[in-house]
Amino acid sequence: VSPLVSKSLSSFGLALMQASYYLNQQGVLDPTSTDLIIQMLRIANRGVHGEIIGQKYMDFASQAYPQIIDGLDNCKELIKRMT
């Protein structure tokens, strides 16, 4: 990955991490989903920076993905109810 793309992806990941923390602090994203998102971003960051992502991490990502989607769906519904 080129340095420019790597920097852009790292900035995007940081923004997602901050958004996750913010939504959690506001009480619309549950702590488990927040933690899973942060862990996934850390794994993705390793890949962006050229590290080999082992099967253990791939398995974690496969298991965490549905939970993250459910948590984000719940978050979206809570926000809809608030507006």
Which are the contacts of 16, defined by CB distance < 8 A and separation ≥ 6? 37, 41
Q: Alpha-carbon torsion 38, 20, 24, 22, what sign? A: positive
Q: What is the pLDDT of residues 56-81, one digit of tens each?
A: 999 999 999 999 999 999 999 999 99
Q: What is the pLDDT of residues 16-63, one digit of tens each?
A: 899 999 999 999 999 999 999 999 999 988 888 888 999 999 999 999
Which are the contacts of 10, defined by CB distance < 8 A and separation ≥ 6? 45, 48, 49
The amino acid at residue 35 is D
CA distance 40 to 11: 15
Prediction pTM value = 0.81
The amino acid at residue 22 is Y
